[in-house]
Chain A
């Protein structure tokens, strides 16, 4: 019997990873803990971006802006409206989803390169608003994010924040996985493979395209809320176009339309630049060259590589 197909084995792996994630903070120092928090946040971003690009075949340069909208809106809700963080987090997801709708609507009329242009412009516009809406966002000074609290307990250290991030990440990963296995996930893949074929199968293109943009933005918005409390201060520059390279790298190196691959590459891509901390130039070269090498030589990414080594099962929705 093949060990890969063993139900108990795969469940066992999942439980092992969960146990590892719960116990890891015991041995990590403060810096390593911060990096681990970032890894989890990038897993959410990577999965939601792959949901849009790898599964539904849509495109967006605006995900850094979505992250920023999530971070700013959750922080502002806590600061000015006095909404507790646990409630602000889903609301900021919904707010970001509304912005996802704003990108999803033009995506009905335009595609690929044109959509790329619109989303580039949208991203720059949002960053400009962050930068110039001084009275609310404090402009280039940045906004200090208050520590989240539940009842009387304040989550002040990185390890305490990790509890929140881990719980939310688990929720996001599981819910994205379930959505992909549902009617919606199959519809997204059908649209990616052929819009015309999908519409002849009575898949409502308008509904599903808008929905996938909103869904992707929702998760990135939540990741933005977590990013805010984890970093502590949010500045407009963090949401410019540069992080887009990292998101691209995550989904290409993981494999378009691959769940396991995205999680693995999120971990790798978040950890790699930590070795090049402070060397922006080297990071840019590393990611740029890595991305080109993967696109040209290994377009199926880690997922394809693991498949070749007979290490994992073929995922049903991965792109050829």
Chain B
């Protein structure tokens, strides 16, 4: 069945969008910075994975782990060097700083990897599996499995782990968190680390499907934003459902309407949803008090 086929590959894409969006949401919720350079963290993560997978010949999962660790370290550095000192500035300036960091990262990647496209060895070297009329691509299944495991770990972490609870409470009320003895600044660092690590993981996840190049981040960032907008801002479950929904819708549009409209569906989503319902599709309206 054509529809089911589209749904499955859409879900695989959606898992990646959801993972990228998840990283951005983690940073946004904790520190209040919407990272417009998140696509570049994703790209850098993919190249970290590439170094371990291809240069050092590690296994896929080990390279994923190392990429996440390196991504996390990068996140902490960014927080300490750039975003902590300017945390009191207006959002406009912070946005510009995130863009600047993104471009600098892209520049460093371009310096090293230039204009070429780098193919990443596939996770599973097996032929597509035929079940009935549906062709299952092992790559897609692997992506879905790995990202779902990652999401479950994160959800459990935020629900039950001590640090996860501390992060959640910080994002709800910074002053309150400070009063009960949470080191808010450290929590910000952890959030940046976690967000960047999840972004890097998304990069390694998509690496076997597409090849790597320094400009791969930009389009992905817009798709992650679309996922965040669809899922209502700043909620983890929202980012996951939003990402999946975006992937599926995009594939359906590509399958039934046209592939060129598929390219812009995420832009249209962002524009239409934010204009009609600024709090996001599943979000809750908040009011600003003077």
Tell me which residues across on chain A come within 8 A of B114, comparing CB atoms: 281
Q: Is B260 an interface residue (CB 8 A)?
A: yes
Chain B residues closer than 8 Å to A286, beta-carbon distance: 107
Indicate the member of B82, B108, B114, B270 with the most A CB atoms within 10 Å.
B270
Return the contact of A248 from the options B100, B106, B225, B267 (Cβ within 8 A). B100
Question: Quick one: which of B93, B105, B225, B278 contacts A295, CB cutoff 8 A?
Answer: B93
Given contact pairs A125-B267, A125-B271, A295-B93, A284 touches B110 in the complex (Cβ within 8 A): yes
A-chain residues with CB within 8 Å of residue B274 when the two chains form the complex: 106, 110, 114, 117-118
| B267–A121 touching, CB < 8 Å | yes
Task: Flag if A59 contacts B107 (CB, 8 Å).
Answer: no
Category for how many chain A residues contact B: 35 or more
Q: Is the CB of A281 within 8 A of B111?
A: yes
State the Cβ distance, B27 to closest chain A Cβ, in Å: 12
Question: Given the complex, which residues of A lie within 8 Å of B266, measured CB to CB?
Answer: 121
When the two chains form the complex, which single residue of A109, A112, A289 contacts B95, counting CB atoms closer than 8 Å? A112
With a cutoff of 8 Å between Cβ atoms, the chain B residues found around residue A299 in the complex are: 86, 89, 93
Residues on the B chain within 8 Å of A109, using CB: 275, 278
The reply to whether A296 and B103 form a contact with Cβ atoms under 8 Å apart is no
Is B270 touching A117 in the complex (CB atoms < 8 A)? yes
A289 to B101, CA, bound (A): 7
How many contacts between A and B, using CB within 8 angstroms? Answer: 133
The answer to the question of B255 belonging to the interface, with a C-beta cut-off of 8 Å to chain A, is no
Give B214's nearest chain A residue, CB to CB.
A281
Chain B residues near A283: list those with CB within 8 A. 107
User: Nearest residue in A to B95 (C-beta to C-beta)?
Assistant: A116
Interchain CB contact under 8 A, A284 and B104: yes
Partner of A121 from the list B28, B85, B92, B270 (CB cut-off 8 Å) is B270
| A280→B90 CA distance, assembly (Å) | 30
For B222, the chain A residues whose CB sits under 8 A away are 120-121, 124
With both chains docked as a complex, state the minimum distance between the C-beta of B118 and any C-beta of chain A, in angstroms. 16
Enumerate A213-265 residues with CB–CB distance to B below 8 Å: 241-242, 244-245, 248-249, 252, 256
CA distance A292 to B214 in the complex (A): 20
Name which of A128, A244, A291, A292 has the most chain B CB atoms within 10 A of its CB: A292
- Check A117–B104 contact: CB distance below 8 A: no
A122 vs B272: C-alpha distance when bound (angstroms): 10
Report if B123 contacts A (CB, 8 A): no
**CB proximity of B75 to chain A, nearest CB, Å:** 15
- How many angstroms from the CA of A283 to the CA of B108 in the assembled complex? 10
Please give, as numbers and ranges, the residues of chain A lying within 8 Å of B278 by CB-CB distance. Answer: 109-110, 114
CB-contacts of B95-143 with A (<8 A): 95-97, 99-108, 110-111, 114
Complex Cα distance, B268 from A242, in Å, reads 20
Considering only residues 52-90 of chain A, those with a C-beta below 8 Å from chain B are 53, 57, 59
| Dominant secondary structure of chain B at its interface with chain A | helix
Given contacts A120-B222, A121-B266, A288-B107, contact A295 B100 (CB under 8 A): yes
Residue numbers in A under 8 Å from B229 (CB-CB):
117
Q: Which partner residue on chain B sits nearest A295 by CB separation?
A: B97
How far apart are the CA atoms of A10 and B105 in the complex, in Å?
Answer: 42
How distant is the Cα of A109 from the Cα of B278 in the complex, in angstroms? 7
Tell me which residues across on chain B come within 8 A of A242, comparing CB atoms.
103
Interchain nearest-CB distance for B279 vs A (Å): 9
B99 to chain A, nearest CB (A): 6
A34 at the interface (CB under 8 A from B): no
Q: Any chain B CB within 8 A of the CB of A317?
A: no
Query: Does A18 count as interface, using CB distance less than 8 angstroms?
Result: no
A287 interface residue (CB < 8 Å to B): yes
The answer to whether A118 and B96 touch across the interface, beta carbons within 8 angstroms, is no
Given A112-B91, A281-B110, A281-B111, A289 and B104 touching (CB < 8 A)?
A: yes
B91:A285 contact, CB within 8 angstroms:
no
* Chain B residues near A241 (CB-CB < 8 A): 218
| Cβ-defined contact, B263 with A128, below 8 A | yes
In the assembled complex, B180 has its CB within 8 A of some CB on chain A:
no
Would A292 and B270 be within 8 Å (CB), given that A112-B91, A116-B34 are in contact? no
How near does chain A come to B154, taking the closest CB pair, in angstroms?
Answer: 22
A-facing residues in B222-237 (Cβ within 8 Å): 222, 225-226, 229
CB neighbours (8 Å) of B214 from chain A are: 281
Chain A residues with CB below 8 A from B271, complex form: 106, 118, 121-122, 125
Is A177 positioned at the interface, with any CB of B under 8 Å from its CB? no
In the complex formed, the residue of B with least CB distance to A244 is B99
Q: Does B4 contact A (CB under 8 A)?
A: no
Q: Is B264 an interface residue (CB 8 A)?
A: yes
Known interface pairs A112-B92, A296-B86. Does A245 touch B100 (Cβ–Cβ under 8 Å)?
Answer: yes
Residue of A106, A120, A249 touching B225 (CB-CB under 8 A): A120
CA of A120 to CA of B35, assembled, Å: 13
Bound complex: CA A187 to CA B264 (Å): 37
The answer on a CB contact under 8 Å between A287 and B103 is yes
Which A-chain residue is minimally distant from B111 (CB atoms)? A281
Of the residues A53, A111, A292, contact of B101 by C-beta under 8 Å:
A292
Residues of B within 8 A of A256 (CB): 93
A153 within 8 A of B: no
Give the Cβ gap from B5 to chain A, nearest Cβ, in Å.
Answer: 26
| Supplied contacts A121-B222, A121-B226, A124-B264, 4 more A-B pairs, CB within 8 Å | A59-B92, A106-B274, A120-B270, A288-B100
- Would you mind naming 14 contact pairs between A and B with Cβ atoms under 8 Å apart? A59-B95, A106-B271, A112-B95, A113-B34, A117-B225, A121-B266, A121-B270, A124-B264, A196-B290, A283-B107, A284-B110, A286-B107, A287-B103, A295-B93
